[in-house]
Structure 1
Amino acid sequence: MAVNRSNDDWRRDLIKSGQAQEAALADLRGIITRGLPYALSKWLSPSDPQFDALVEETAQETLVRVLSHLDTFEGRSKFTTWVHKIAVRIAITELRRKRWKDTSLDDLLAEDGAMVGLDLLAVPGPGPEDTTEQSELLDQVRRIIAEELTEKQRNAIVAILIHGMPVDEVADRMEMRRNALYKLLHDARLRLKQRMDERGLNPKDVLASFEAW
């Protein structure tokens, strides 16, 4: 059943307590769980044994974040689109965490030096046109990382930003001090921004997934 609420309706009902809020949360949960199979199909099949658990965990975490960050919704998009992006980012973050476990740094790079899993930086929108735009953008980022960074910078970028590996873990595997790794990442980020600017790319859009640095 379609849910017809305006942005203001969503905010009003979620701010309230009682039945209005419960109904809005139930509707949002349905929207989230229906939207995730398409959004995540590139990385995890709905038939995968882990899929249902991931969707349920993501839906619950998304509802918690939406309630605690309602005041950050600026109304420049549909409320449900904003919620969808939060849900996909949460799910992809969890997938990234699972990918690096028991994986060597060498395994995170393809034989030709391309970055395995760079598409995990994308947070696709509800429609295929959003996914296409993200793919084209990430192709350019992939080339910049491969061509403009040193091997150490590339390894750190791939491990931390693409696969979500903790900084301490990467420092141990690269046999570097934590502060030295931060300096390496800082220099790599500056170089990435410079090269993206030269190619007319907006660093704020491309680096939206890098905010944890």
Structure 2
Amino acid sequence: MEWCAVDAESREWLAQLNGHGNARTDAIRRLHELLVRVGRREVHRRGTRINGAELEDIVQQAASDATIAILRKLTAFRGDSRFTTWASRFVILEAASKIGRHHWRHPRPHLAHEDWEQIPERPGGEPSGQAEAADLWEAICHAVDTKLTDRQRRVFVGIVFEQIPADTLGSRLGMSRNALYKTVFDARRKIRAHLVDREYLPCG
């Protein structure tokens, strides 16, 4: 990559993060602090019901994971935007993924009819009680964690659980609306197959 085509601030970030010693350590610290600020804005923009120390923990984890990913992909930065703008996309995606994971791992104690409509098509009525609901949610969580690809997981959580508009999510992930819906369809099919295999749903 020709660094001369990159703005001065971005060149400085790249030079320090690709460097050695105290300068690199300080640049990584400043990058992490930047990502924490961006992460906080993102989670508050989403209006999630998570709050307090739990929300801050998600922000810190997202910033840390994004920092690691950025350091691994520095050569992928092409200068189409400022480095800080490019880096911010990493923490925005990480925060979205972690909030979504929290939502499917910690569902509300009582599941209303509209909540059940968001999971894979389920013939028959709702579960008879809260214990059965929790058991089914655990099976869904296991399927989402183990049966879906990373891309399917991000799309499924974004569309189904977080209800992010398709155009917004598609822009973030670089996917068309049709590709998003195809991904959700494939994810639902995998989850439903898992639930049928575990006898949570009937065959057919």
* Corresponding position of 1:171: 193
* Corresponding position of 2:168: 134
Matched, 1:16 2:19: yes
* Corresponding position of 1:118: 163
Aligned mate of 1:33, from 33, 36, 59: 36
Superposed CA deviations along residues 105-124 of structure 1, whole A, max 9, x for unmatched, are x73635xx9955231x77xx
Distance 2:185 2:195 in 1: 10
TM-score (structure 2 length as normaliser): 0.55
1:180-195, aligned counterparts within 5 Å? none
How far off its partner does 1:155 sit?
6.0
Say whether the 8 Å CA contact 1:13–1:20 is kept in structure 2.
yes
Say whether the 8 Å CA contact 1:36–1:55 is kept in structure 2.
yes
Say whether the 8 Å CA contact 1:14–1:21 is kept in structure 2.
yes
Say whether the 8 Å CA contact 1:62–1:90 is kept in structure 2.
yes
TM-score (structure 1 length as normaliser): 0.53
Distance 1:107 1:172 in 2: 19
Give the root-mean-square deviation of aligned CA atoms: 4.0
Q: Which amino acid aligns with 2:55?
A: F
* Corresponding position of 2:117: 109
Q: Which amino acid aligns with 1:64?
A: I
Can you give the 5+ residue segments of structure 2 that lack an aligned partner in the other structure?
1-6, 122-158, 199-204
Distance 2:116 2:185 in 1: 8
Q: Which amino acid aligns with 2:115?
A: D
Q: Which runs of 4+ in 1 moved over 6 A?
A: 135-138
Distance 1:63 1:136 in 2: 23
Aligned residue pairs total: 144
Distance 1:170 1:5 in 2: 51
Residues 39-48 or 61-70, more deviating: 39-48
Distance 1:137 1:70 in 2: 22
* Corresponding position of 2:93: 89
How far off its partner does 1:39 sit?
1.3
1:67-82, aligned counterparts within 5 Å? 67-82=71-86
Larger radius of gyration: 2
Can you give the 5+ residue segments of structure 1 that lack an aligned partner in the other structure?
123-132, 161-166, 177-213
